[in-house]
Amino acid sequence: ELASEPADTDEFLVSDAGTIKRIDYSLIKGGGITVADQWRLTTNFTGNADPIASNLEQVDTSGQGTLGSAMTESSGIFTFPSTGIWLVKYNLSVNTGAGTTPTVDGLCTSFIQVTTNNSSYSNVARASAGLHDTSGGQVHENASEVSSLIDVTDTSNVKVRFKADSINSTTTVTGDSTLNKTFFTFIRLGDT
């Protein structure tokens, strides 16, 4: 019997068919998902962003919450609080504005980008949505949610950021400080 309860982040060595692996105590005691976090864009902007680098906040509206250690963000670059396999989701919300009729350029594209060396980023997931308005009224359109599993083997080198592309001059990327419009979700699924 243990003298005191281990912390959830304490690691134990187990043998898996002769291969020694490290496992967080939270998983041994039946933990399941230990980290879930959401961030959002708080204000609108027009044009492309590579990456979306400002006006970002962790969700904080009454009724919303997080689980476990939070992600950290600096200039649009998100750092994971722990290694593991992470599910990362990105929802890009755009608005064409009242009285505008988008052209073929009324396409918005969202990208999840990852680095494994804390330097060069690659696109790992992409979604696009076309904007169409024949009436001249206001149109809201969300790019299909894009997601990817990210293998975070090293929290100093594996990071993610989010790109908004193909945003024309009549289209606004929408944000809000009280509800999720353009937002990012991070869920740690298990050990790497």
pLDDT tens for 54-69 read 999 999 999 999 999 9
Q: What is the pLDDT of residues 102-128, one digit of tens each?
A: 544 467 899 999 999 999 999 999 998
The position carrying tokens 């090293």 is: 154
Please list the ranges in the chain whose pLDDT falls under 70. Answer: 1-5, 8-9, 25-31, 97-106, 131-143
AA identity, residue 127: A
